[in-house]
Amino acid sequence: MTVPAVLDPADPKGLLPLRALGDDLIVTFMDFEQGDAPDELDLVELGFMSKGGTFRKVDERWYPTNDPIAFPQTLKVPRDLLSEGVYEVAIQISIYGNNPNEGPRKTLTIDTTKPNFGNKPGAAGFPPELNGTITETFLAQEGEVSVLVPWYDDAEALDRAPYYWTSEAIPPDSETPIREQEFSAEDIRDKRLSITVYADEIRSWGSGTRYFYYHLRDRAGNEGPNSFLSAIEVDLSPAPGALLPPRVPLSSRGLVDRQQARDGVAVEVDEYDFADPGHKLAVFWDDTPLPEIPIDPSAFPLSVPVPWSTLHAKGDGPLRAKIYYKIRQGTAYGPPSPTISVAVNLTLAGQDHAKAPALINEDLALVEVYGEESQTRNTLLTDDFGLPASVLLPLYDAPEQGQLLELHWGSYPGVVAFYEVKPGDVAGKSVRFSVPWNVIDTDKENPALPVWYTTSNGVNQQQSLPTRVAVSIVVIEGLKEVVFPHANRDGVLHCCSRPRLWKGVTVRVKADPFIEQGDTLTVCWQGSTGLNGSEPIKGTYEEIEKELTTLLPGEDIDIVVEDYDRLVAPMVNYGSALVYYRLKKSMGGRGISKKEIVIINRTLPSGAVCSPLNDLCEEN
């Protein structure tokens, strides 16, 4: 019996990697001696139990004795059992389903605890002989700097420490480690954990205040938080006459992304000793030479633009581009300047396009817009009044979990809906947005309303072309509020109202020239504990529809709220109902009335509460 996911088959602890816990755990087993009786079944069971515990079946399979078996065979430990702890697995065989025989057990260890018990590691310490500054002379002599990591109690051999070197006092989450250090058994025995930072890693970041930090990762793959930062001054000043490091001015985002590429990327070179108009400046971006420019000693700093083709020459990244320059005198180039590195991230959510880095990607699919009632492509009609609209589009190429699609609607400010890519999403999947009515309501008549979306991976955005949507939602204005004919002059329905509350509450829609035979009215009722319709009561909302099959001009329409227990009884002591109606014209028009409040009180001054079984009105 074997467990393929175990990191080291020779490890008696049987440590499982963290990545193996996301699915059922496969256990394989080899041949067993089947029963020789024909037309019988042998049972193989998989046990998964705490160390030393009794056999606990988690999977099984019956094998007909008539059928040959192709080995190895597999059984699975369900994913939901894979929690932290030390376990054993074993195969138990029952010939003909009888006399179970358990095989040897194998130990499995599941470790989901982050190193240092998930606590933030302490700051690393630089060698005291540096006196707070790393100089070019030190790097030339030693070639590296060794920093000491504070000991942590649960340290084990083969733990690793990915580490970072940055110019940011508050490093962004997007920073990537420059390298990682593995701690040996000797390091653990001596309780001395050190990380080596090589000279070229330090030089590439240039001079100034620099910060070192790291995080811990154990063999199982548990990663802890980033450590506290250790600050150090770096002084790589060249000898007089040497070239200064180049500079790449960036936005506050601090990297070359697609927006920076659209705004323009340039390498700036400061004045150097003995500059001459006969010299030529040759800038190299990740070893790609840019067109040379003549030196003008009066125009420092000199600026050399970096075209998109060069920025994108090594792909989307993320990567750190190395930048340096040389000065050519005649046909000979002098030594290169110090090298700097710049973060480059040109990755996208969705396929790239020929006009990159332009924001609008004409290769992204266009959205299709449908009204909930009209269901006509890229058209919203009056039938869709008061309802959300659906926006559909096929998902772009190679979607990745966490990427974001954000929908925009005409001149409505900001994002109106979004979709976050989920695990298992694939290109071409139909993505549906729902645009709420309050957004549509801002522009109900527009023959070509633009609707588009953006994609984002958290670093770069791109935008689709707009779909032009014909919006023609004609709304009837000025419909008056409903009245309650059985309420008293103060607008209150109470225990003595006729008819009684439990006989039904009449909502009257007054005659209106806009309301005609063949139309449909929908009365909307919402119960509340407050006097003014505030504090809605859950479960007391209802829509009551009435088709006006017969209606005389000038005739009022009464609609009765009949469900006393659910819609009226919850208002006990000076509650209220907020009521209005929607009009649906037989010829397609839509309208909504003003809202009205009716107070409902079932409590007498004595504190008694009336009900169908307790009619307390004095007239009785």
Say whether both 97 and 123 belong to one domain: no
SS3 503: helix
Please answer whether residues 6 and 108 qualify as being in contact, where contact means their C-beta atoms are separated by less than 8 angstroms: yes
DSSP conformation letters of 340-388: EEEEE----SS---TTTT-SB-TTSPPPEEEETTT-BTTEEEGGGTTS-
Same domain, 58 and 33: yes
- Token pair listed for 257: 């992304």
Give the pLDDT of residue 464. 98
Within this chain, do residues 336 and 374 fall inside the same structural domain, yes or no? no
Whether the predicted pLDDT of 141 surpasses 80: no
Instruction: Give the pLDDT confidence of 269-283 residue by residue, as tens digits.
Output: 999 988 888 788 999
Across the chain, mean pLDDT equals 93
Percent pLDDT > 90 in the chain is 82
Given this model, what pLDDT does residue 435 score?
98
Same domain, 103 and 125: no
- Same domain as 107, residue 125: no
pLDDT at 240: 40
Contacts made by residues 305-309, CB under 8 angstroms, sequence distance 24+:
305/264, 305/265, 305/266, 306/265, 306/266, 306/267, 308/261, 308/356, 308/357
Under 8 Å between Cβ of 210 and 231:
yes
**242, part of any domain:** no
Q: pTM score, two decimals?
A: 0.51
Query: Do 562 and 467 share a structural domain?
Result: no
Q: Is residue 43 part of a domain?
A: yes
Are residues 140 and 55 both part of a single domain? no
For 41-64, the pLDDT digits (tens) are 999 999 999 999 999 999 999 999
Query: Do residue 151 and residue 178 come from a single domain?
Result: yes
Residue 162 resides in a domain? yes
Residues, the chain, total?
620
pLDDT recorded at residue 241: 56
Token representation of residue 184: 């040996």
Residue 231 lies in a domain: yes
For residues 252, 257, 259, 264, the Cα torsion angle rounded to the nearest 10 degrees is 90
- pLDDT tens profile 100-112: 999 999 999 999 9
Q: Which of 259-273, 325-339, 450-464 has the lowest average pLDDT?
A: 325-339
Mean pLDDT to the nearest integer, 328-334: 66
For residue 303, give both structure tokens. Answer: 């600026």
Say if 379 falls within a structural domain: yes
Of 112, 138, 163, which residue sits at a domain end?
A: 112
Of 19-33, 98-112, 134-148, 512-526, give the lowest mean pLDDT range: 134-148
The amino acid at residue 196 is T
Residue 310 lies in a domain: yes
Tokens of 156: 């084990």
CB 368 within 8 A of CB 282: no
549 shares a domain with 504:
yes
pLDDT above 70 as % of the chain: 98
Answer yes or no: is pLDDT of 242 > 90.
no
In 3D space, the residue among 392, 380, 395, 365 whose CA is nearest the CA of residue 465 turns out to be 365
Q: Which of 56, 84, 112 is the last residue of a domain?
A: 112
Lowest mean pLDDT among 6-10, 215-219, 241-245, 252-256: 241-245
pLDDT of residue 237: 59
Indicate which CATH number applies to the domain containing 513: 2.60.40
Q: Is 135 a domain residue?
A: yes
pLDDT single digits (tens) 388-410: 999 999 999 999 999 999 999 99
pLDDT in tens, 113-131: 999 999 999 999 999 988 8
Say whether both 100 and 181 belong to one domain.
Answer: no
- What pLDDT was estimated at residue 137? 67
pLDDT at 333 over 80: no
Could you give the number of structural domains in the chain? 5
Are residues 218 and 128 both part of a single domain? yes
148: CATH: 2.60.40.10
Last residue of some domain: 443, 473, 503? 473
Both 207 and 124 in one domain: the answer is yes
Distance of alpha carbon 96 from alpha carbon 37, whole angstroms: 9
**What sign for the dihedral angle of Cα 141, 144, 146, 147?**
positive
| Within-domain flag for 3 | no
Which residue segment(s) compose the domain that 41 sits in?
Answer: 18-112
The bridge status of strand 57-64 relative to strand 101-102 is unpaired
